Amino acid sequence: MNPEERHIFSVLVENRFGVLARVAGLFSGRGFNIDSLNVAETHDKSISHITLVTHGDAQIIDQIYQHLNRLIDVIEVTDLSTAGTHVERELVLIKVATDDPQKRTEILQVAEVFRGRVIDMKPTSLVLEITGDEGKLKAAIDIFNTYGILELARTGKIAMLRGKEN
């Protein structure tokens, strides 16, 4: 077995119903994994941007790339892991338990370390919004776990190539 690698694909597709099912079906039908998936309309309403994180050996990654390209509704596929340097972000919403009012201040201080924003606060819980790369989100989640996470939602990674130098 060849070593497995993690790859981020940026995929531009026609913004039509059924396109996501075709992309997802390509993975499920071949037993390939999707680690995370994000889909949304771009500034051009006719185009959606998919950021798809997957893993596999070089042969599987190549097959994923080729099969994505083969879908009629796919306009452009970029393997960000090989196409040059890219930027990536993910947003997470964390609802943390604050039953103990003493702890609330502490949690808010920790949130500040991660540049988190409080977007909801109730007597026994608060919701934080944190943005970052994978490592930062993992660190944040690990820490807040020690206070008690009630609920967590992530957007999945979004990514794009960096702009050209000139």
Partner 1 sequence: MELSGARILVDGLKREGVEYIFGVNGGAAMPIFDALYGETEVKLIPMRHEQGASHAADGYARATGKVGVALATSGPGATNLVTGIATAYMDSIPMVAITGQVFTHYIGSDAFQECDVIGVTRPICKHSYLIKSSDEIADVVAEAFHIAKTGKPGPVIIDIAKDAQNNEALFQYPETVNIRSYKPQVHGDPTQIAKAAALIKEAKRPMLYAGGGVVLADASEELQQLTLNTQIPITVTLMGLGAFPETHPLAMEMPGMHGSCCANYAFTDSDLIIAIGARFDDRVTGDLSKFAPNAKKIHIDIDASCIGKNVPVDVPIVGDAKNVLRELNKQVSTADIDPWRDQIQEWKQKYPFEYEQKSDIVMPQFVIEKIYEHYSDAIVVADVGQHQMWAAQYFKFTEPRQWLNSGGLGTMGFSLPAAIGAQLGCPDKTVVNINGDGSYIMTIQELVPAVTMKLPLKVFIINNMYLGMVRQWQELFHGKRYSAVDYHDNPDFALLAQAFGATGLRVEHPEDVEPALLKAKGITDGPVVIDFIVDEEENVFPMVPAGAGLGDVIRGLS
Q: Which residues bind partner 1 (CB under 8 A)?
A: 13-14, 17-18, 21-22, 25, 29, 59, 62-63, 66-67, 69-70, 72-75
Q: Considering beta carbons, is residue 66 or 105 the nearer one to partner 1? A: 66
Q: Considering beta carbons, is residue 67 or 89 the nearer one to partner 1? A: 67
- As a dihedral over the C-alpha atoms of residue 27, residue 19, residue 82, residue 160, rounded to 10 degrees, the angle is -130
User: What gap in Å lies between CA 8 and CA 81, rounded to an integer?
Assistant: 6
User: What gap in Å lies between CA 100 and CA 102, rounded to an integer?
Assistant: 5
Residue 47: both structure tokens together? 């185009």
Instruction: Give the shortest CB-6-to-partner 1 separation in angstroms.
Output: 21
Instruction: Give the shortest CB-28-to-partner 1 separation in angstroms.
Output: 9
CA 100 to chain centre: 32
Instruction: Give the shortest CB-164-to-partner 1 separation in angstroms.
Output: 23
Q: Considering beta carbons, is residue 49 or 157 the nearer one to partner 1? A: 49
